[in-house]
Amino acid sequence: MQDVHYSLNEHVATIRIDDGKRNALSPDLLRAIYGALDQAEADEASVILTGRESVFSAGFDLKVMKRGGSNALRMLRLGYALTARVMRYPYPVVVACNGHCFAMGVFLMLSGDYILGCRGEFRIAANEVAIGLTMPRVAAATLRHRLTPAAFQRAVTLSEEFDPESALDVGFFDTLVDADDLATCAEAQARALRKLDLHAHAATKRRIRKQVVRKIRRGLPLDLIDAAMMGLRGARPR
């Protein structure tokens, strides 16, 4: 799929999401991300996951969501399960957030091992409550995995929007860089992480993330039931 670009350079794979717009996570785009991760794993590569200029992802494709039906449920299943897929990826995953990031884009971003944000007039938010949705269990588990307790409460129940500096302070990011330096810094971080004992890295991730991955897997079918019961019509456009 053209919206997901895969490149490999000396055991570092870059997966770039670029739909030319807001990087809405449609079923096709999500499947392409899975395919790129499968290719990276076959290549025994560390991963840089990134978006396009000024946006990492605006979250699920609302056009698909509003139409409802099996395609919308398929999109939710693919997106929610992707968080566990990234968390359990056996090599280091560096996420380079290019700018704005909302909802499912946030959950995907927070599944990485090391997250770079970039300075600028950008907003980071898990905005489900603001658009009329009860926060999914999978999303809450992913947020709790990374954020400070106070920020978790504000992000989940109040849909607080964070700028890059405050996002760094509460755990969305591990470091901030200038936008022009994002790709170079992500590459350098991915190269540095290749120096780890990669078998120990993979085994440790499985051990320390066992509980959160279990919560994601147990919560996913319940979240899909909730979505089906409300007919996927609860979200209001911003």
State mean pLDDT over 37-45. 98
Task: Please say if the pLDDT value at position 4 is more than 80.
Answer: yes
Cα gap 9→85, rounded to integer Å: 22
Q: How confident is the model at residue 230 (pLDDT cuts 50, 70, 90)?
A: confident
**SS3 assignment for 8-36:** EECCEEEEEECCCCCCEECHHHHHHHHHH
Cα gap 131→134, rounded to integer Å: 9
Task: Please say if the pLDDT value at position 233 is more than 60.
Answer: no
State mean pLDDT over 203-229. 96
Task: Please say if the pLDDT value at position 173 is more than 50.
Answer: yes
Q: Residue 18, exposed/middle/buried by CB under 10 A (0-12, 13-18, 19+)?
A: middle
Q: Which residue has the tokens 């991963």?
A: 47
Per-residue pLDDT tens over the stretch 130-163: 998 999 999 999 999 999 999 999 999 999 999 9
The DSSP 8-state label assigned to residue 162 in this structure reads B
Domain boundaries, the chain: 4-181
Cα gap 5→215, rounded to integer Å: 30
Per-residue pLDDT tens over the stretch 93-127: 999 999 999 999 999 999 999 999 999 999 999 99
Cα gap 194→221, rounded to integer Å: 35
Task: Please say if the pLDDT value at position 236 is more than 90.
Answer: no
Domain 4-181 grouped into CATH 3.40.50.620: no
Handedness of CA 148, 149, 150, 152 (dihedral sign): positive
pLDDT at 234: 45
CA distances from 3 to 20, 28, 87 (A): 8, 9, 22
pLDDT at 164: 98
Task: Please say if the pLDDT value at position 232 is more than 90.
Answer: no
Cα gap 142→147, rounded to integer Å: 9
Per-residue pLDDT tens over the stretch 181-207: 999 999 999 999 999 999 999 999 999
Cα gap 83→110, rounded to integer Å: 8
Task: Please say if the pLDDT value at position 212 is more than 70.
Answer: yes
pLDDT at 1: 56
Phi and psi at residue 43, to the nearest 5°: -85, 0
Q: Which residue has the tokens 């901030």?
A: 176
Residue percentage of the chain with pLDDT more than 70 = 96
